[in-house]
Amino acid sequence: MTDSRAPIAGTPSTAEKVVRHAAVDRLFHWISAVCVLILLATAFLPILGLEFSWVGIHWVTGLVLIAVVLFHIVRSLAPRRFMAMWIGAADFRDAAAVVRATLRRDGSVEPKAGKYSVAQKLMHHAFALVVLTALATGGAMLARIDTPWWKRNPYLLGDSTWGIIYVLHGLAALSLITMIMLHVYFALRPEKWLFLRAMLRGWITRREFVEHHDPQRWQVDR
């Protein structure tokens, strides 16, 4: 008789899985991604000639993104979560070793990372800087539109200050386009599919964990 608890062919059993992203983290990632794409679409499509009522969609989506980012920041203050993204001396040594292995091309083995590689940490911090800049400037620009909760006040800040805010907001938006393209490109590379799967389903296999990660730097429960 077939054991109904046996895993489906090709699917690792629970014992063979290592949880990389909790469900709440994956939900934050995809909600943020959808919000950013909507914000970019409503910002640039009218410039390209596609006319529609975009202002309401834009600022409501911005408020949703502000809320989920604040939620993520609060969760990230836990010491273990905060240190997982901290760039320390070991990360600089890893980066130097990767550069040496790439330049020499002598078969040198690149070091195994903790939960996140230095490249992933740098990408995270770059997104954090750009998104927070966009949200801070966009939040200030909410003062210039009417909403159900307040009336517009374009005189809240001086013209020169508004100019700086608009420039920073525009630069952040343009930077996001390039960064998203890079992010998607690396996520779709075959050797990176395990990370894409982890962001979709939450786990990597035990074999992938041993192959790509240093268990001393990323300690997981068996």
Task: Rounding to the nearest 10 degrees, give the CA dihedral for residues 210, 211, 216, 220.
Answer: -40
Nearest CA among 63, 69, 61 for reference residue 35 = 61
Q: How many CB atoms lie under 10 A from the CB of residue 125?
A: 12
Considering just the CA atoms, what is the radius of gyration of the chain in Å? Answer: 22
Higher pLDDT, 3 or 130: 130
Nearest CA among 128, 157, 160 for reference residue 142 = 157
Tokens linked to 125 = 């911090």
C-alpha to C-alpha distance for 65 and 135, rounded to whole angstroms: 8
Q: How many CB atoms lie under 10 A from the CB of residue 176?
A: 21
> How many CA atoms lie within 13 Å of 94's alpha carbon, on the beta-carbon side?
20
**CA 11 → CA 16, 197, 220, distances in Å?**
9, 13, 20
Tokens linked to 220 = 């997981």
Q: For residue 5, what pLDDT is reported?
A: 40
Which amino acid is it at 145? I
Tokens linked to 68 = 């989920």
Q: For residue 6, what pLDDT is reported?
A: 40
Domains annotated for the chain, with CATH where assigned, are 20-77+114-212 (1.20.950.20)
Q: For residue 1, what pLDDT is reported?
A: 40
Tokens linked to 207 = 């074999």
How much is the mean pLDDT over the chain? 87
pLDDT tens profile 209-221: 998 888 888 888 6
Q: For residue 193, what pLDDT is reported?
A: 92
- In this prediction, residues 47-61 reach a mean pLDDT of 92
Q: For residue 131, what pLDDT is reported?
A: 96
Report which listed range, 83-87, 108-112, 151-155, 188-192, is most confident: 188-192
pLDDT tens profile 164-191: 999 999 999 999 999 999 999 999 999 8
C-alpha to C-alpha distance for 189 and 183, rounded to whole angstroms: 10
Q: For residue 90, what pLDDT is reported?
A: 81
